[in-house]
Amino acid sequence: MRIPLDKESPTPLYAQIRDYLRASILAGTLPPKTRLPAARQLAADLGVSRVTVESAYADLEAEGLIVRRTGSGSYVSPQAVPAPARQKGEVDWPLWQKELAGAGDLADPDDLDGAGVSLDPGLERGHPAGRPHGAKRPPGFISFTGFGDPRQFRIEDFYAALREVVRRDRVACLEMEDERGYPPLRQSIAHILTSQGIETRPDRVLITSGSQQALAIVTQLLLKPGDTVLVETPTYDWALRLFRAHRLRIVGCPIDAQGMQVEALEPLLQQYHPRLIYTMPTFQNPTGACMSGHRRRLLLELADRYNVPILEDDFAGDLRYEGVAQPALKALDPGGRVIYAGTFSKLLMPGLRLGFVVADGPVYRRLVEIKRVNDLAAGSLIQRALEVYVTVGRYHAHLRRLIHAYRRRRDRLMHGLAEEFPPGWEAAPPQGGLFLWLRLPPGVTATGLAPLARARGVDYAPGTRFFPAPDEGEAYIRLNFAAVPPDEIDEGVRRLGQAVRDALEIRA
């Protein structure tokens, strides 16, 4: 135990030890029944006499905070009741901390779900010390936010893969993994991508901590503060947050039902000289749009002419409910133009935190280096278990199951909207992906609707979150239909329709 002692302090050493232990017990950080070190051991650790430690323990015993049993040692008393968290009064933070407190807030105050991440609205709302648990949504609350539905995943199968890997690889599961990712997993990913029309090789695949890390390392490598990134408007909110955190200039190219309006791109390239084009060509988040084949080829041509790398985020490109399959941009790449980011989070399990980058050319090696300085390598055991789990056949079987389930949910949502919503809304059923992008009836705003919806027991992702200039998104909300069981979809849309009516009434 490395208790901080100040041998030059006027407070005697025994009292310093006693005070540290008392404070820790009352704060609950040394919980009841915790065994304390033997006095002889603690004295040796701290370089003090045994009598000093015995005196500290004797005081604590007298206060009823610890219990001493001959032969079995000293324990925090089972009756020691942690005092309520002390408000430390005003801590005098150093100046550099005060500056951080004043800096612009990256988080969106309307963040209802933090892309499904936040279980603790306390943190979101600026109470970092508050409510670490128990801040989940109330029972019966229906949320059209988040990712895919983890209940579609058979955890038993994954658990069996874990068991197999632990038995097979033993200690290797615990060792540091190849920095590019477990080689057989990269091989599997190359097979799966090829079976999907994106021919690649394991030595062009880099395993990342979810596709968010893929975006982060590409950004770190290719852009510096003040550089321009070109995005679709609207676009993925966590990409915007990443770009804002890097202090980039964000320039948007509008999107329509055929994806990014690539015809409008050339003047933007000429005017802003972006260092990166970030696109989700297939079943875009949040709009669900799928870029036409013509635009895909035109985008590649323009990026080549203006020497701009493309980051293709194909987070749900395989989740196609109808329509013709469009090739990934990466499949059309003549060599090294497109950096491709994929993930297992949406299809399999968000909590797995495994994604991957596919890149060829010198950029691959640089991305590996950036990944390494960021966190060395992805976790070994989870990669190995995923490799055992994800065969090409199993991937496609799981995909078919998801497509079947999510298509029905999409249809149910569209049906519910037609039944339950007051007129004036607009939404095209997406041909794939997880999201429906809904234009609210005139006069209703995403921000204004939010408290009314929550009061009715339902929430959504406000459109403001997906635009570089948030106000442009006030007419829109994004509904995730994939994560919500079918009967909850009906009830959720009913509540949302009521909330929209509430909003219209307030306005009238």
Select 271 or 374, whichever has its Cβ closest to a second copy: 374
Q: Which is nearer to a second copy, 226 or 423 (CB)?
A: 226
Give the residue with the Cβ less far from a second copy, 162 or 444. Answer: 162
For the packed helices 293-305 and 265-272, what is the interaxial angle rounded to 10 degrees? 20
Cβ proximity of 190 and 418 under 8 Å: no
- Least distance to a second copy from the beta carbon of 425, Å? 29
Interactions with a second copy, residue window 209-238 (CB under 8 A): 209-210, 212-213, 216, 220-222, 224-225, 238
Residue 340 and residue 357 in contact, taking contact as beta carbons nearer than 8 Å: yes
Between CA 453 and CA 495 the distance in angstroms is 7
Q: How far is the CB of 337 from a second copy (least distance, A)?
A: 6
Determine contact, residues 91/56, Cβ cutoff 8 Å. Answer: no
Which residues within the stretch 48-107 sit at the binding site for a second copy (CB under 8 A)?
A: 85, 88, 91-98, 100-101, 103, 106-107
- Within 360-419, which residues bind a second copy (CB under 8 A)? 360-366, 368-370, 372-382, 392-393
Number of neighbouring beta carbons within 10 Å of residue 409: 21
Closest CB to a second copy among residues 328, 449: 328
Stretch that binds a second copy, among 45-53, 249-257, 408-416, 456-464 (CB under 8 A): 45-53
Total residues interacting with a second copy, rule: CB under 8 A = 147
Q: Between 114 and 288, name the residue whose CB sits nearer to a second copy.
A: 114
In the shown chain, the binding pattern of residues 102 to 141 toward a second copy, with x for contact by CB under 8 A and - for none, equals -x--xx------xxxxxxx--x--x-xxx-xx--------
Q: What residue has token string 């079995």? A: 72
Q: Give me the least distance between CB of 141 and a second copy, in Å please.
A: 16
Among 18, 186, 295, 456, binds a second copy (CB under 8 A): 186
Report d(CA 55, CA 61) in Å as an integer: 10
Pick the closer one to a second copy by CB: 79 or 96: 96
Q: Which of 180, 398, 410, 495 binds a second copy (CB under 8 A)?
A: 180
Q: Judge contact between 251 and 290, C-beta under 8 A.
A: no
Nearest CB to a second copy, comparing residues 178 and 491: 178
Q: Strand locations in 320-384, DSSP E? A: 338-343, 355-358
Toward a second copy, which CB reaches closer, 62 or 103?
Answer: 103
CB of 221 to a second copy, least distance (A): 8
Buried (b) or exposed (e) across 255-271, using 16+ Cβ within 10 A? beeebbebeebeebbee
Residue in 168, 201, 401, 507 binding a second copy, rule: CB under 8 A:
201
Give how far the C-alpha of residue 122 lies from the chain's centroid of Cα atoms, to the nearest Å: 17
CA atoms within 13 A on the CB side of 214: 28
Q: Pick the piece of the chain touching a second copy (CB under 8 A) from 2-10, 417-425, 431-439, 440-448.
A: 2-10
Tell which one of 60, 80, 229, 242 touches a second copy (CB under 8 A).
242
Footprint (CB under 8 A) of a second copy, residues 276-335: 293, 297, 304, 307-309, 317, 324-328, 331-332, 334-335
**CA atoms of 216 and 85, how far apart (whole Å):** 37
Task: Determine contact, residues 279/340, Cβ cutoff 8 Å.
Answer: no
**Please, what is the Cα angle at 96 between 92 and 98, to 5 degrees?**
55
Angle subtended by helix axes 486-507 and 446-456, to nearest 10? 120
Q: Tell which one of 63, 199, 266, 426 touches a second copy (CB under 8 A).
A: 199
Instruction: Quote the Cα angle for 435-439-440, to 5°.
Output: 120
Beta bridge partners of residue 230, listed in sequence order: 251, 277
Report if residue 258 touches a second copy, rule: CB under 8 A: no
> Smaller CB distance to a second copy: residue 188 or 498?
188
Q: What's the Cα-to-Cα distance from 41 to each of 73, 93, 502, rounded to whole Å?
A: 11, 36, 68
Q: Which of 175, 211, 478 is nearest to 342 (CA)?
A: 211
Secondary structure class of 285 (helix, strand, coil): coil
Minimum CB distance to a second copy smaller for 206 or for 479? 206
Smallest distance, a second copy to C-beta of residue 291, A? 12
**CA-CA distance, 14 to 51, in Å (whole number)?**
9
